[in-house]
Protein backbone atom coordinates (compact mmCIF):
# COMPACT_ATOMS: atom_id res chain seq x y z
CA UNK A 1 0.00 0.00 0.00
CA UNK A 2 1.35 3.41 -0.92
CA UNK A 3 2.81 5.55 1.84
CA UNK A 4 1.30 9.00 1.35
CA UNK A 5 3.37 11.87 2.70
CA UNK A 6 1.41 14.19 4.97
CA UNK A 7 2.73 17.69 5.58
CA UNK A 8 3.28 18.73 9.16
CA UNK A 9 2.18 22.16 10.30
CA UNK A 10 5.85 23.01 10.81
CA UNK A 11 6.42 22.64 7.06
CA UNK A 12 4.43 25.85 6.55
CA UNK A 13 5.83 29.25 5.86
CA UNK A 14 5.22 31.37 8.99
CA UNK A 15 4.18 34.33 6.84
CA UNK A 16 1.69 32.35 4.75
CA UNK A 17 -1.47 34.14 5.82
CA UNK A 18 -3.63 33.85 2.69
CA UNK A 19 -6.21 31.14 2.09
CA UNK A 20 -4.47 28.14 0.46
CA UNK A 21 -6.51 27.66 -2.67
CA UNK A 22 -5.56 27.93 -6.31
CA UNK A 23 -7.04 30.03 -9.09
CA UNK A 24 -10.58 28.70 -9.61
CA UNK A 25 -9.73 25.20 -8.47
CA UNK A 26 -7.66 23.20 -6.04
CA UNK A 27 -6.77 20.69 -8.74
CA UNK A 28 -3.63 22.56 -9.67
CA UNK A 29 -2.11 22.05 -6.21
CA UNK A 30 0.46 19.27 -6.27
CA UNK A 31 0.55 18.51 -2.54
CA UNK A 32 -2.18 17.61 -0.14
CA UNK A 33 -2.30 20.95 1.65
CA UNK A 34 -0.97 24.45 1.75
CA UNK A 35 1.85 24.25 -0.82
CA UNK A 36 0.33 26.88 -3.06
CA UNK A 37 2.17 29.50 -5.06
CA UNK A 38 1.42 32.83 -3.39
CA UNK A 39 1.20 34.55 -6.77
CA UNK A 40 -1.95 32.59 -7.60
CA UNK A 41 -5.30 34.30 -7.48
CA UNK A 42 -7.58 33.19 -4.68
CA UNK A 43 -11.10 32.93 -6.08
CA UNK A 44 -14.36 32.65 -4.21
CA UNK A 45 -17.86 32.27 -5.57
CA UNK A 46 -18.77 34.42 -8.55
CA UNK A 47 -15.42 36.04 -8.90
CA UNK A 48 -14.57 37.52 -5.54
CA UNK A 49 -10.86 37.03 -6.22
CA UNK A 50 -7.85 38.13 -4.23
CA UNK A 51 -4.38 38.57 -5.69
CA UNK A 52 -2.05 39.27 -2.80
CA UNK A 53 -4.41 41.78 -1.28
CA UNK A 54 -6.13 43.13 -4.40
CA UNK A 55 -9.85 42.47 -4.84
CA UNK A 56 -11.29 41.86 -8.31
CA UNK A 57 -14.86 41.06 -9.27
CA UNK A 58 -15.05 38.62 -12.19
CA UNK A 59 -18.63 37.35 -12.28
CA UNK A 60 -18.57 34.01 -14.08
CA UNK A 61 -21.45 32.65 -16.17
CA UNK A 62 -20.66 29.02 -15.33
CA UNK A 63 -18.81 27.35 -12.47
CA UNK A 64 -18.02 23.67 -12.05
CA UNK A 65 -17.57 22.07 -8.63
CA UNK A 66 -17.38 18.61 -7.13
CA UNK A 67 -20.47 18.68 -4.93
CA UNK A 68 -20.53 15.21 -3.41
CA UNK A 69 -17.79 12.65 -2.84
CA UNK A 70 -18.45 9.39 -1.01
CA UNK A 71 -16.12 6.41 -0.75
CA UNK A 72 -14.97 3.52 1.46
CA UNK A 73 -11.36 2.94 2.47
CA UNK A 74 -10.60 -0.75 2.98
CA UNK A 75 -7.72 -2.27 4.95
CA UNK A 76 -7.22 0.65 7.33
CA UNK A 77 -8.41 1.52 10.82
CA UNK A 78 -10.12 4.82 11.61
CA UNK A 79 -6.96 6.03 13.40
CA UNK A 80 -4.87 5.37 10.29
CA UNK A 81 -7.36 7.17 8.05
CA UNK A 82 -7.51 10.25 10.29
CA UNK A 83 -3.71 10.28 10.30
CA UNK A 84 -3.71 10.17 6.49
CA UNK A 85 -5.93 13.26 6.52
CA UNK A 86 -3.63 14.84 9.13
CA UNK A 87 -6.40 15.05 11.72
CA UNK A 88 -5.89 14.84 15.48
CA UNK A 89 -8.56 12.80 17.29
CA UNK A 90 -8.23 15.00 20.38
CA UNK A 91 -8.51 18.42 18.75
CA UNK A 92 -9.79 18.23 15.18
CA UNK A 93 -12.76 15.86 15.12
CA UNK A 94 -15.90 15.18 17.15
CA UNK A 95 -17.09 11.66 17.98
CA UNK A 96 -20.76 10.76 17.51
CA UNK A 97 -22.40 7.54 18.61
CA UNK A 98 -24.67 7.00 15.62
CA UNK A 99 -25.84 4.17 13.42
CA UNK A 100 -25.78 4.64 9.66
CA UNK A 101 -26.15 1.45 7.69
CA UNK A 102 -23.64 -1.02 9.21
CA UNK A 103 -21.53 1.64 10.96
CA UNK A 104 -22.15 2.56 14.61
CA UNK A 105 -19.66 5.39 15.16
CA UNK A 106 -18.70 8.54 13.33
CA UNK A 107 -16.00 11.17 13.56
CA UNK A 108 -16.97 14.57 12.11
CA UNK A 109 -14.51 17.22 10.96
CA UNK A 110 -15.57 20.84 10.33
CA UNK A 111 -19.18 19.93 11.22
CA UNK A 112 -19.84 18.20 7.85
CA UNK A 113 -16.98 15.88 6.76
CA UNK A 114 -17.93 12.44 8.08
CA UNK A 115 -15.75 9.41 8.79
CA UNK A 116 -17.99 6.40 9.59
CA UNK A 117 -16.57 3.26 11.15
CA UNK A 118 -17.48 0.19 13.17
CA UNK A 119 -16.50 0.46 16.83
CA UNK A 120 -15.01 -3.04 16.79
CA UNK A 121 -12.64 -2.02 13.99
CA UNK A 122 -10.98 0.86 15.78
CA UNK A 123 -8.57 -1.10 17.95
CA UNK A 124 -8.58 -4.46 16.14
CA UNK A 125 -5.84 -4.32 13.53
CA UNK A 126 -6.74 -7.57 11.81
CA UNK A 127 -10.44 -6.79 11.40
CA UNK A 128 -10.70 -4.05 8.78
CA UNK A 129 -13.17 -5.67 6.41
CA UNK A 130 -15.93 -3.12 6.83
CA UNK A 131 -13.63 -0.26 6.01
CA UNK A 132 -13.99 3.44 6.78
CA UNK A 133 -16.82 5.15 4.93
CA UNK A 134 -16.14 8.83 4.15
CA UNK A 135 -18.87 11.28 3.11
CA UNK A 136 -18.33 14.77 1.71
CA UNK A 137 -21.64 16.55 1.20
CA UNK A 138 -21.80 19.80 -0.79
CA UNK A 139 -20.85 22.00 2.15
CA UNK A 140 -18.21 19.47 3.23
CA UNK A 141 -16.66 19.68 -0.25
CA UNK A 142 -16.28 23.44 0.16
CA UNK A 143 -14.70 23.01 3.62
CA UNK A 144 -12.40 20.31 2.23
CA UNK A 145 -11.11 22.67 -0.46
CA UNK A 146 -9.77 25.07 2.17
CA UNK A 147 -7.10 22.62 3.32
CA UNK A 148 -6.72 19.92 0.67
CA UNK A 149 -6.67 19.47 -3.09
CA UNK A 150 -9.01 17.27 -5.12
CA UNK A 151 -5.99 15.97 -6.99
CA UNK A 152 -4.61 14.61 -3.72
CA UNK A 153 -7.90 12.96 -2.68
CA UNK A 154 -8.49 11.37 -6.09
CA UNK A 155 -4.94 10.00 -6.08
CA UNK A 156 -5.43 8.75 -2.51
CA UNK A 157 -8.61 6.89 -3.49
CA UNK A 158 -6.92 5.24 -6.49
CA UNK A 159 -3.74 4.28 -4.60
CA UNK A 160 -5.78 2.76 -1.76
CA UNK A 161 -8.21 1.04 -4.15
CA UNK A 162 -11.19 2.66 -2.44
CA UNK A 163 -14.76 1.73 -3.28
CA UNK A 164 -16.34 4.87 -4.76
CA UNK A 165 -20.01 5.11 -3.81
CA UNK A 166 -21.00 8.44 -5.34
CA UNK A 167 -19.54 11.49 -7.04
CA UNK A 168 -21.57 14.55 -8.06
CA UNK A 169 -20.28 17.15 -10.50
CA UNK A 170 -22.28 20.39 -10.40
CA UNK A 171 -22.47 22.94 -13.21
CA UNK A 172 -23.73 26.26 -11.85
CA UNK A 173 -25.13 28.77 -14.33
CA UNK A 174 -25.46 32.37 -13.15
CA UNK A 175 -27.18 33.49 -16.34
CA UNK A 176 -30.31 32.57 -18.28
CA UNK A 177 -28.33 32.22 -21.53
CA UNK A 178 -27.96 28.47 -21.08
CA UNK A 179 -30.15 25.90 -19.36
CA UNK A 180 -33.17 27.08 -17.36
CA UNK A 181 -35.91 24.93 -15.86
CA UNK A 182 -38.45 26.20 -18.41
CA UNK A 183 -36.15 25.36 -21.33
CA UNK A 184 -35.43 21.86 -20.08
CA UNK A 185 -39.13 21.22 -19.45
CA UNK A 186 -40.07 22.45 -22.91
CA UNK A 187 -37.44 20.21 -24.51
CA UNK A 188 -38.71 17.26 -22.49
CA UNK A 189 -42.34 17.81 -23.49
CA UNK A 190 -41.39 18.25 -27.15
CA UNK A 191 -39.42 15.00 -27.27
CA UNK A 192 -36.12 16.83 -27.78
CA UNK A 193 -34.11 15.13 -25.02
CA UNK A 194 -31.90 12.25 -26.13
CA UNK A 195 -30.73 10.40 -23.02
CA UNK A 196 -29.81 6.98 -21.70
CA UNK A 197 -32.54 7.37 -19.05
CA UNK A 198 -35.88 5.72 -19.74
CA UNK A 199 -37.93 8.22 -17.76
CA UNK A 200 -37.66 11.75 -16.40
CA UNK A 201 -39.24 13.29 -13.32
CA UNK A 202 -40.56 16.87 -13.44
CA UNK A 203 -41.86 18.34 -10.21
CA UNK A 204 -42.45 21.55 -8.26
CA UNK A 205 -42.36 22.15 -4.52
CA UNK A 206 -44.86 24.58 -2.98
CA UNK A 207 -45.22 26.46 0.29
CA UNK A 208 -48.66 25.42 1.49
CA UNK A 209 -49.54 28.65 3.31
CA UNK A 210 -48.69 31.02 0.47
CA UNK A 211 -49.01 28.72 -2.52
CA UNK A 212 -45.70 30.01 -3.92
CA UNK A 213 -43.22 27.72 -5.67
CA UNK A 214 -40.13 27.06 -3.57
CA UNK A 215 -38.50 24.36 -5.71
CA UNK A 216 -38.33 23.32 -9.38
CA UNK A 217 -36.56 20.15 -10.54
CA UNK A 218 -36.23 18.02 -13.67
CA UNK A 219 -34.49 14.70 -13.11
CA UNK A 220 -33.35 12.24 -15.81
CA UNK A 221 -32.86 8.71 -14.49
CA UNK A 222 -33.72 7.18 -11.13
CA UNK A 223 -31.87 7.51 -7.83
CA UNK A 224 -30.96 3.82 -8.01
CA UNK A 225 -29.30 4.04 -11.44
CA UNK A 226 -25.55 4.43 -11.74
CA UNK A 227 -25.88 7.75 -13.56
CA UNK A 228 -28.54 10.44 -13.47
CA UNK A 229 -28.71 14.13 -14.37
CA UNK A 230 -30.69 16.70 -12.40
CA UNK A 231 -31.58 20.28 -13.33
CA UNK A 232 -32.98 22.57 -10.66
CA UNK A 233 -33.37 26.17 -9.59
CA UNK A 234 -30.52 26.56 -7.11
CA UNK A 235 -31.26 30.18 -6.22
CA UNK A 236 -34.83 29.26 -5.33
CA UNK A 237 -33.59 26.44 -3.11
CA UNK A 238 -31.11 28.67 -1.30
CA UNK A 239 -33.59 31.50 -0.80
CA UNK A 240 -35.92 29.10 1.00
CA UNK A 241 -33.19 27.83 3.33
CA UNK A 242 -32.55 30.03 6.37
CA UNK A 243 -29.10 28.52 6.82
CA UNK A 244 -27.75 30.22 3.69
CA UNK A 245 -26.78 33.80 3.04
CA UNK A 246 -27.30 34.72 -0.62
CA UNK A 247 -24.83 37.07 -2.28
CA UNK A 248 -26.98 40.04 -3.45
CA UNK A 249 -25.07 40.03 -6.75
CA UNK A 250 -26.65 36.67 -7.65
CA UNK A 251 -29.86 37.23 -9.60
CA UNK A 252 -29.95 33.91 -11.51
CA UNK A 253 -28.66 30.53 -10.41
CA UNK A 254 -29.54 27.26 -12.14
CA UNK A 255 -27.72 24.02 -11.52
CA UNK A 256 -27.14 20.91 -13.60
CA UNK A 257 -25.81 17.96 -11.59
CA UNK A 258 -24.17 14.86 -12.97
CA UNK A 259 -24.60 12.18 -10.28
CA UNK A 260 -22.50 9.04 -10.75
CA UNK A 261 -22.49 5.96 -8.51
CA UNK A 262 -20.73 2.64 -7.87
CA UNK A 263 -18.76 1.16 -10.80
CA UNK A 264 -19.39 4.18 -12.99
CA UNK A 265 -18.13 6.46 -10.22
CA UNK A 266 -14.99 4.35 -9.77
CA UNK A 267 -14.31 4.45 -13.52
CA UNK A 268 -14.82 8.21 -13.59
CA UNK A 269 -12.45 8.80 -10.67
CA UNK A 270 -9.83 6.55 -12.29
CA UNK A 271 -10.12 8.63 -15.44
CA UNK A 272 -9.82 11.87 -13.44
CA UNK A 273 -6.70 10.49 -11.79
CA UNK A 274 -5.08 9.86 -15.18
CA UNK A 275 -5.96 13.33 -16.51
CA UNK A 276 -6.34 15.57 -13.45
CA UNK A 277 -5.97 18.82 -15.39
CA UNK A 278 -8.78 17.88 -17.78
CA UNK A 279 -11.53 17.07 -15.28
CA UNK A 280 -13.97 19.74 -16.57
CA UNK A 281 -13.73 18.49 -20.16
CA UNK A 282 -13.88 14.84 -19.11
CA UNK A 283 -16.95 15.42 -16.93
CA UNK A 284 -18.54 17.32 -19.79
CA UNK A 285 -17.97 14.40 -22.16
CA UNK A 286 -19.60 12.07 -19.63
CA UNK A 287 -22.56 14.46 -19.28
CA UNK A 288 -22.89 14.84 -23.06
CA UNK A 289 -22.74 11.07 -23.48
CA UNK A 290 -25.63 10.68 -21.05
CA UNK A 291 -27.90 13.47 -22.29
CA UNK A 292 -28.12 15.88 -25.20
CA UNK A 293 -30.89 18.39 -25.89
CA UNK A 294 -31.96 18.86 -29.52
CA UNK A 295 -33.81 21.41 -31.60
CA UNK A 296 -37.46 20.65 -32.32
CA UNK A 297 -38.27 18.09 -35.01
CA UNK A 298 -39.56 20.69 -37.46
CA UNK A 299 -36.04 22.11 -37.74
CA UNK A 300 -34.38 18.71 -38.34
CA UNK A 301 -33.54 17.06 -41.66
CA UNK A 302 -32.83 13.60 -40.26
CA UNK A 303 -35.51 11.28 -38.91
CA UNK A 304 -33.16 9.65 -36.40
CA UNK A 305 -33.33 11.61 -33.13
CA UNK A 306 -29.75 10.80 -32.14
CA UNK A 307 -28.59 12.61 -35.29
CA UNK A 308 -30.60 15.76 -34.62
CA UNK A 309 -28.64 18.97 -34.08
CA UNK A 310 -28.39 20.36 -30.56
CA UNK A 311 -30.43 23.37 -29.54
CA UNK A 312 -28.27 26.49 -29.44
CA UNK A 313 -28.44 27.20 -25.70
CA UNK A 314 -27.30 23.65 -24.93
CA UNK A 315 -24.42 23.66 -27.43
CA UNK A 316 -23.31 27.08 -26.14
CA UNK A 317 -23.27 25.72 -22.59
CA UNK A 318 -21.15 22.74 -23.62
CA UNK A 319 -18.77 24.98 -25.53
CA UNK A 320 -18.43 27.36 -22.57
CA UNK A 321 -17.91 24.57 -20.09
CA UNK A 322 -14.95 23.16 -22.02
CA UNK A 323 -13.00 26.32 -21.29
CA UNK A 324 -13.44 26.14 -17.52
CA UNK A 325 -11.37 24.73 -14.70
CA UNK A 326 -12.94 23.00 -11.75
CA UNK A 327 -14.06 25.85 -9.53
CA UNK A 328 -13.17 26.27 -5.89
CA UNK A 329 -15.90 27.83 -3.74
CA UNK A 330 -14.21 27.23 -0.42
CA UNK A 331 -14.10 30.89 0.58
CA UNK A 332 -17.53 31.92 -0.66
CA UNK A 333 -19.35 32.17 2.66
CA UNK A 334 -17.15 30.40 5.21
CA UNK A 335 -17.13 33.23 7.76
CA UNK A 336 -20.76 34.14 6.99
CA UNK A 337 -21.75 30.52 7.54
CA UNK A 338 -20.03 30.45 10.91
CA UNK A 339 -21.75 33.69 11.95
CA UNK A 340 -25.10 32.37 10.75
CA UNK A 341 -24.57 29.09 12.60
CA UNK A 342 -23.75 30.97 15.81
CA UNK A 343 -26.90 33.05 15.51
CA UNK A 344 -29.18 30.15 14.63
CA UNK A 345 -27.75 27.40 16.83
CA UNK A 346 -25.79 28.98 19.69
CA UNK A 347 -27.25 32.39 20.55
CA UNK A 348 -30.44 31.02 22.12
CA UNK A 349 -28.53 28.44 24.19
CA UNK A 350 -26.20 31.15 25.51
CA UNK A 351 -29.21 33.29 26.42
CA UNK A 352 -30.86 30.42 28.29
CA UNK A 353 -27.66 29.66 30.23
CA UNK A 354 -27.21 33.37 31.06
CA UNK A 355 -30.74 33.67 32.46
CA UNK A 356 -30.35 30.43 34.40
CA UNK A 357 -26.97 31.42 35.91
CA UNK A 358 -28.21 32.66 39.28
CA UNK A 359 -24.79 31.92 40.78
CA UNK A 360 -23.15 34.57 38.53
CA UNK A 361 -20.67 32.07 37.08
CA UNK A 362 -21.83 32.51 33.48
CA UNK A 363 -19.27 35.24 32.80
CA UNK A 364 -16.44 32.93 33.82
CA UNK A 365 -17.80 30.14 31.60
CA UNK A 366 -18.25 32.45 28.61
CA UNK A 367 -14.69 33.74 28.91
CA UNK A 368 -13.41 30.18 29.14
CA UNK A 369 -15.34 29.20 25.98
CA UNK A 370 -13.96 32.12 23.98
CA UNK A 371 -10.40 31.81 25.28
CA UNK A 372 -10.30 28.09 24.51
CA UNK A 373 -11.60 28.85 21.01
CA UNK A 374 -8.91 31.49 20.45
CA UNK A 375 -6.21 28.98 21.42
CA UNK A 376 -7.44 26.53 18.77
CA UNK A 377 -7.19 28.97 15.83
CA UNK A 378 -4.65 27.57 13.38
CA UNK A 379 -2.82 29.04 10.40
CA UNK A 380 -5.48 27.83 8.00
CA UNK A 381 -8.15 29.55 10.11
CA UNK A 382 -6.04 32.71 10.00
CA UNK A 383 -5.87 32.40 6.21
CA UNK A 384 -9.68 32.22 6.05
CA UNK A 385 -9.95 35.22 8.40
CA UNK A 386 -7.57 37.26 6.25
CA UNK A 387 -9.48 36.50 3.06
CA UNK A 388 -12.69 37.67 4.74
CA UNK A 389 -10.95 40.84 6.01
CA UNK A 390 -9.51 41.62 2.57
CA UNK A 391 -12.93 41.32 0.95
CA UNK A 392 -14.12 44.03 3.33
CA UNK A 393 -11.14 46.35 2.94
CA UNK A 394 -9.51 45.50 6.29
CA UNK A 395 -5.80 44.92 6.78
CA UNK A 396 -4.16 41.49 6.82
CA UNK A 397 -3.32 39.97 10.20
CA UNK A 398 0.24 38.68 10.52
CA UNK A 399 1.10 36.15 13.23
CA UNK A 400 2.39 38.98 15.42
CA UNK A 401 -0.64 41.24 14.94
CA UNK A 402 -2.98 38.26 15.47
CA UNK A 403 -1.31 37.46 18.82
CA UNK A 404 -1.67 41.10 19.90
CA UNK A 405 -5.35 41.08 18.89
CA UNK A 406 -5.97 37.87 20.88
CA UNK A 407 -4.30 39.39 23.97
CA UNK A 408 -6.47 42.51 23.59
CA UNK A 409 -9.65 40.42 23.28
CA UNK A 410 -8.72 38.40 26.37
CA UNK A 411 -8.05 41.60 28.33
CA UNK A 412 -11.35 43.21 27.32
CA UNK A 413 -13.29 40.04 28.17
CA UNK A 414 -11.78 39.89 31.65
CA UNK A 415 -12.38 43.61 32.29
CA UNK A 416 -15.97 43.54 31.06
CA UNK A 417 -16.83 40.55 33.23
CA UNK A 418 -14.69 41.75 36.14
CA UNK A 419 -12.90 38.39 36.44
The whole-number average pLDDT for the span 172-192 is 95
CA atoms within 13 A of residue 160's CA, in its CB half-sphere: 23
In the chain, % of residues over pLDDT 90: 32
Q: Rounded CA gap, 26 and 144, in Å?
A: 10
C-alpha 35, offset from chain centre: 20
Residue 263: other Cβ atoms inside 10 A: 11
Query: pLDDT-derived band of residue 223, with 50, 70 and 90 as boundaries?
Result: confident
CA–CA dist 123, 373 (Å, integer):
30
Q: Cα separation of 348 and 27, whole Å?
A: 40
Look at residues 83, 81, 235 and name the one whose alpha carbon lies nearest to residue 172: 235
Instruction: Give residue 91's pLDDT.
Output: 79
2 pLDDT band (50/70/90 cuts)?
Answer: very low
Longest alpha-carbon distance in the chain = 84
Tens-place pLDDT, residues 30-83:
334 333 322 222 233 333 332 222 222 233 688 889 999 999 998 888 999 999
Q: What is the pLDDT of residue 357?
A: 67
The pLDDT of residue 53: 26
Which three-class secondary structure string do you get for 367-381? Answer: HHHHHHHHHCCCHHH
Which of 17, 59, 35 is CA-nearest to residue 250?
59
43-47, 205-209, 313-317, 381-385: least confidently modelled range: 43-47
Average pLDDT over the chain reads 76
Q: What is the pLDDT averaged over residues 358-387? A: 73
Does residue 54 or residue 271 have the better pLDDT? Answer: 271
pLDDT, position 13: 35
Average pLDDT over residues 120-133: 65
Alpha-helix residue ranges (DSSP H) falling in 66-168: 78-84, 138-147, 150-159
Strand (E) or helix (H) holding 255: strand 254-261
Residue 16 has pLDDT above 50, yes or no: no
SS3 (DSSP) at 224 = coil
Give yes or no for residue 293 having a pLDDT over 90. Answer: yes
Report pLDDT for 248.
84
Among 58-67, 90-99, 232-241, name the one with the lowest average pLDDT.
58-67
What is the pLDDT at residue 158?
92
**pTM of this structure:** 0.67
The 10s digit of each residue's pLDDT in 302-344 is 889 889 999 999 999 988 665 555 555 544 445 666 666 676 6
Amino acid sequence: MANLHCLDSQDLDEEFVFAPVTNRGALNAQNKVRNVDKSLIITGQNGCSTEMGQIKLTMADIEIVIDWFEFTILGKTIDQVLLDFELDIRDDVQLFDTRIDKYDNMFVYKEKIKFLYSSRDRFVEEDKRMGIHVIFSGYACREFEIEYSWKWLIRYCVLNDCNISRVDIAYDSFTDKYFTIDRVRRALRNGCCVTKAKTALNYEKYEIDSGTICGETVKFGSSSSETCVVFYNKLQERMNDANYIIDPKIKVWYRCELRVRRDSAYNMISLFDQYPDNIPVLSLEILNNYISIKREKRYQTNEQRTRWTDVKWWSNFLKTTQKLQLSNKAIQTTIQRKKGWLELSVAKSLGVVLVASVDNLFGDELIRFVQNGLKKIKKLDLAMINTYRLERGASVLTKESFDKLVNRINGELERNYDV
